[in-house]
Amino acid sequence: MNDVLLDIQDLEVTYEVNNEVIRAVNRINIQLHKKETLGIVGEAGAGKTTTALSILGLLPKKIGFVKNGKILFKGQNLLDLEHELIRQIRGEVISMIFQDPMTSLNPVIPIGKQIAEVLEFHNSVYQNSLMSEKNKQKKTKAEIERLVEDILQMVGISPSRKHDYPHQLSGGMKQRVVIAIALICNPELLIADEPTSALDVTIQAQILSIMEDLKDKLDTSMIMITHDLGIVAETCDTVGIMYAGQIVEFGTIKDIFTGDRHHPYTVGLINSLPDIDSNQDRLKAIPGLMLSPTQITEGCKFHNRCPKCFDKCSTIEPNEYVKGSHRIKCHLFSCTD
Amino acid sequence: MSIPLIETHNLKKYFKTKAGYLHAVDDINIQINKGETLGIVGESGCGKSTLGRTVLRLSAPTSGQILFDGKDITKYNHKQMKIAKSDMQIIFQDPFSSLDPRMIVFDLIAEPIKEILGIKNKKELETKVFKLMETVGLSDKLVNVYPHELDGGRRQRIGIARTLSIDPQFIVCDEPVSALDVSIQAQILNLLMDLQQERNLTYMFITHDLSVVKHISNKISVMYLGQIVETAMSEELFSNPLHPYTQALLAAIPRAKYYEKKKVREIIRGEVTSPIEPKPGCRFAPRCKYVKAECTLADIDYIEISKDHYVACVLHK
Amino acid sequence: MSDLNSLSLYKKESLWIKAWKRMKKNKPAIVGLVIILIFVFFALFANVIADYNEVALKQDYTQKLLPPNSNNILGTDALGRDIFARIIHGARLSLTLGFVIVGIALFFGVSLGGISAFYGGMIDLVIMRLLDVFMAIPPMLLMLSLVAALGPGLDKLMIALIVVIVPGYTRISRASMLAVSGNEYIEAAKACGCSNLKIIFKHLFPNALGPILVVATLSLASTIVMISGFSFLGIGISAPTPEWGAMLSEARANMRYNPYLMIIPGTALLLVSVSFNLIGDGIRDALDPRVKG
């Protein structure tokens, strides 16, 4: 069965700083099915992290606003939930891994205790309907201790190190602890925001494979936010390519990496990657820069960098071309239907 | 026959720590020919940045020689070094911290011209700065702008303009693109390659990313814990990696290609050990799947296996 | 091609001119500046407005404890002296003392801090431990014992104050310069051949200046308050010299029935210290091009 777990509809998020409106996310639509991994790819400032933060209701207060849209999680709109309820969901039903393992752990608390804290918190608060059955029984101290040891074992840290402080661990180990914290409550959705970009390649490979394993073991769905198409190709089932706050192309991994109908930005992104399996001399860079999100532009956001730009690209916003699971927001294709 | 522009002989840089000496750069021998690029690849903490800074004498070497154009610059005094610096420059990794936030673009680019070339004449300075901005692809409207108002790619272009401003022959590029977005990364790499062709520059390109270094380098050296474990011509290294660490690095890179069946990755276990007072023998041995008894007995010789392909591993003797 | 048109794009503006342009947009700082300028104006022309000996010191028992009136706009004190005249002559003394003390302390503090931060090692250790000794003694006790050892007098009081505030300045300069010197642009400057002196003055100093300036302006206010405090205690400035603290002290006897005797010098003190704080914050923001005005 392929149930939809998370369905983001027409989400629009803006930041308002110093009387300037920054349109971070512009009407995006994303679907994530149970037990699948969704990759969100884009450059800095494309709105990837903003999307993730709005799912968890963690947008900075008084600056970030959800202007429009719905975030349906198991059919319930997360944006309608009360503050208290969303707080319980965080960490228990939906949890998040942040980019920098160096700063996401508290330096003065032993790692075992930091993992246990999450359990203790969710042990005491009152239960709500979105939670899964297995979390509903109250746990004793000994049980918590055992769960902490289990999860450490699972992420590849010897349980005997649970009394260590974060500074005694290397970057890769810290990221494992962060993953342990995120997964201790058996969440149904794990959002990983660039989980490996602060790590070395060999450690990155270790962390990615641990995440993959645990995801299968715990039946968790995952959103993988990254700038690295390589990671997406290896870990994701569906992919959304984000550019200037919009999903410009969305589809299964096969849709994105094969076939010949693609958004010019996707093509540019793939071409600009140095490919170690081929012998090209120069890289095919995408010229220019992303438009500033404060600018209000007509038409396609990518038109100023697009090699295939034509007359209406700069004036009319393209509709989505849909073919099965594959969606492209570009005039090149939408004019055919 | 090409002549090496820069060479090191048994270059060492140790740092004193409470636990003993940290062998950041341990017995490194490199040679870079004029107009060519040597890629230095390794993970964080392997000493690659220290090597780059030591070669430029930004930090003093513990022992060993650095030959620039055949002359040993480790023996240079302050004055001679200042002259030598006009031929040897560095591009820094982080375009966000390597530019003084209180200086505008013009002053940033003009600074090395004033300091090293001693040009103080206003007209001359302006002509030079605008020429440089054009060379690196910065619009001349940006002269009065502060670096924090610009994006990473443009800031890195300022860094490159600063470096080029005094016409160096040799440039150490210390992870110049790792802080940038993919599409911008490609722009900067292309710019660096174009500049090399136009000006016959010699690069030492330091990076943690093997895929970046492939296109820009003639030769690549792989570094692990202060030592070079393998050096080969770029294509040779990718098609025929000999050292287990090089193989592991190559296998760990996620490929941006769709595979019908996801491949099972080969992952090396463990993490980098401490570079403080390392034991004799191969430093990669604790993580190596081919490890044998002789690996940890004595230091492994770094030998030429085939033409221009050097490796330090007991498997290849 | 770089034509003449593009050359004119570059406009040379010094750091300070730009800082002033940004400062102008900062309203609280401008209010503070205006208040201080008013005090400075009165202090400069104190003798023209009201003669020192004739008005500020001359006692007249027939005119004592008058509330504000047309002749004495702020009234008179228990000895019949014009309060307005005493306030503006007091401003002269307080502001001069404040600027001189902070100026000298800043010079020592920044130099010591700079030396500590730049050279490090043994030098750093010796300077820092020596200053720790000073910081370990309660400041009031230190000042009182210094004044006791050196003997009474304004100059001795100044020395005591400088000794007390220099350690704080040194620590802050050292910390902010250390933070700046860790930045890659310092190394970049070294790589492009700048001399040590140039690095200190062109890169290290301007970037470390912000916090130092804030502390300096803050302590300008607190120094003036401290001098007043000493005058209040009877050390330092002796009667009949007009000084705000001394005026507060003298007003004690009549504060129940003539509270304005206390309110007026107190308000002057408050205005000056708040204004300096506002200016301090303003300067810090103005010197940083990253703060949007």
CB contact under 8 A, A257 and B257: yes
Tens of pLDDT, residue by residue over C76-88, are: 887 888 888 888 8
Q: Does B127 touch chain C (CB under 8 A)?
A: yes
Chain C residues closer than 8 Å to B92 by CB: 184, 187-188
Residue B244 lies in a domain: yes
Burial code (b: 16+ CB inside 10 Å, e: under 16) for A244-283 equals: bbbbbbbbbbebbbeeeebbbbbbbbbebbbbbeeeeeeb
Tens of pLDDT, residue by residue over A44-80, are: 888 888 999 999 888 888 888 898 899 998 888 988 8
Distance to chain C for B71, nearest Cα, Å: 20
Tens of pLDDT, residue by residue over A163-215, are: 988 888 888 888 889 989 988 888 889 999 988 887 888 888 888 888 888 88
B209 and B233 housed in the same domain: yes
Question: In this predicted structure, what is the pLDDT of residue B261?
Answer: 53
pLDDT for A127 beyond 60: no
pLDDT for A94 beyond 80: yes
> Which residue shows structure tokens 């001119």?
C17
pLDDT band at B20 (very low <50, low <70, confident <90, very high): confident
Chain C residues closer than 8 Å to B129 by CB: 10
B40 and B151 housed in the same domain: no
pLDDT for A137 beyond 90: no
Chain C residues closer than 8 Å to B100 by CB: 185, 189, 203, 207
pLDDT for B6 beyond 90: yes
Residue B32 lies in a domain: yes
pLDDT band at B29 (very low <50, low <70, confident <90, very high): very high
B133 and B64 housed in the same domain: no
Tens of pLDDT, residue by residue over B56-90, are: 988 889 999 999 988 899 888 888 888 888 889 99
Q: Does A236 touch chain B (CB under 8 A)?
A: no
Mean pLDDT score of chain B, rounded to an integer? 87
B82 and B174 housed in the same domain: yes
pLDDT for A40 beyond 90: yes
CA dihedral A124, A125, A130, A133 (to 10 degrees): 20
Question: In this predicted structure, what is the pLDDT of residue B286?
Answer: 87
Distance to chain B for C182, nearest Cα, Å: 10
Q: Does B173 touch chain C (CB under 8 A)?
A: no
CA dihedral C30, C35, C39, C40 (to 10 degrees): 0
Question: In this predicted structure, what is the pLDDT of residue C1?
Answer: 37
| Mean pLDDT computed over C226-243 | 77
Which among C10, C187, C194 has CB closest to B126?
Answer: C10
| Mean pLDDT computed over A234-261 | 90
Which among B154, B181, B258 has CB closest to A44?
Answer: B181
pTM of the model: 0.81
Chain B residues closer than 8 Å to A44 by CB: 152, 181
Residue B160 lies in a domain: yes
B274 and B148 housed in the same domain: no
Contact B176, B185 (CB under 8 A): no
CB contact under 8 A, B187 and A209: no
Residue B185 lies in a domain: yes
pLDDT for C4 beyond 60: no
Residue B95 lies in a domain: no
pLDDT for C6 beyond 50: no
CA angle C137, C171, C36 (to 5 degrees): 95
Quickly list H helices, C4-120.
4-7, 15-24, 27-44, 46-49, 83-119
Question: In this predicted structure, what is the pLDDT of residue A126?
Answer: 52
Show the domain range for B128: 101-164
Which among A254, A276, A279 has CB closest to B210?
Answer: A276
Domain boundary among B164, B179, B207: B164
Q: 3-state DSSP call for residue B62?
A: coil
B113 and B182 housed in the same domain: no
Tens of pLDDT, residue by residue over B267-303, are: 777 777 788 888 888 888 888 888 888 888 888 888 8
pLDDT for A290 beyond 90: no
Peptide bond into B286 cis (omega under 30): no
B196 and B70 housed in the same domain: yes
Residue B67 lies in a domain: yes
Q: Which chains touch C (3 or more CB pairs under 8 A)?
A: B
The more confidently predicted of residues A1 and C201 is C201
Domain boundary among B144, B164, B184: B164
Question: In this predicted structure, what is the pLDDT of residue C293?
Answer: 44
Q: Give the largest Cα separation in chain A, rounded.
A: 68
C-alpha closest to that of C14 among B103, B110, B140: B103
Q: Does B208 touch chain A (CB under 8 A)?
A: yes
pLDDT band at B266 (very low <50, low <70, confident <90, very high): low
Which among B97, B100, B130 has CB closest to C2?
Answer: B130
pLDDT for A128 beyond 60: no
Cα first-last separation, chain A: 31
Mean pLDDT score of chain C, rounded to an integer? 83
Number of domains in chain B: 2
Tens of pLDDT, residue by residue over A139-156, are: 788 888 898 998 898 888
Distance to chain C for B259, nearest Cα, Å: 42
CB contact under 8 A, C7 and B126: yes
Question: In this predicted structure, what is the pLDDT of residue B54?
Answer: 92
B152 and B174 housed in the same domain: no
Question: In this predicted structure, what is the pLDDT of residue A1?
Answer: 43
To test the contact with chain A by mutation, choose from B142, B183, B194, B207 the residue with the greatest count of A C-beta atoms within 10 A, namely: B183
Tens of pLDDT, residue by residue over C150-175, are: 887 788 888 999 999 999 999 999 99
Can you tell me the ipTM of this complex?
0.80
Distance to chain C for B76, nearest Cα, Å: 14
Which among C184, C193, C289 has CB closest to B115?
Answer: C193
Q: Does A206 touch chain B (CB under 8 A)?
A: yes
Residue B93 lies in a domain: no
Q: Is the alpha carbon torsion for C204, C206, C211, C212 positive or negative?
A: positive
B234 and B124 housed in the same domain: no
CATH assignment at residue B219: 3.40.50.300
B83 and B179 housed in the same domain: yes
pLDDT for A337 beyond 50: no
Domain boundary among B119, B139, B164: B164
B146 and B287 housed in the same domain: no
pLDDT band at B259 (very low <50, low <70, confident <90, very high): low
Q: Does B182 touch chain A (CB under 8 A)?
A: yes
Which among B210, B235, B257 has CB closest to A233?
Answer: B257
Distance to chain C for B138, nearest Cα, Å: 12
Residue B258 lies in a domain: yes
A124-133, A308-317, B93-102: the lowest-pLDDT one: A124-133
Distance to chain A for B184, nearest Cα, Å: 7
B192 and B147 housed in the same domain: no
CB contact under 8 A, A269 and B182: yes
The more confidently predicted of residues B5 and C49 is B5
Could you say which residues from 121 to 160 on chain B have a Cβ atom under 8 Å away from some Cβ of chain A? Answer: 151-154
Distance to chain C for B231, nearest Cα, Å: 28
pLDDT for B115 beyond 80: yes
Q: Which chains touch A (3 or more CB pairs under 8 A)?
A: B
> Which residue shows structure tokens 């936030």?
B101
H/E run at residue B63: strand B63-68
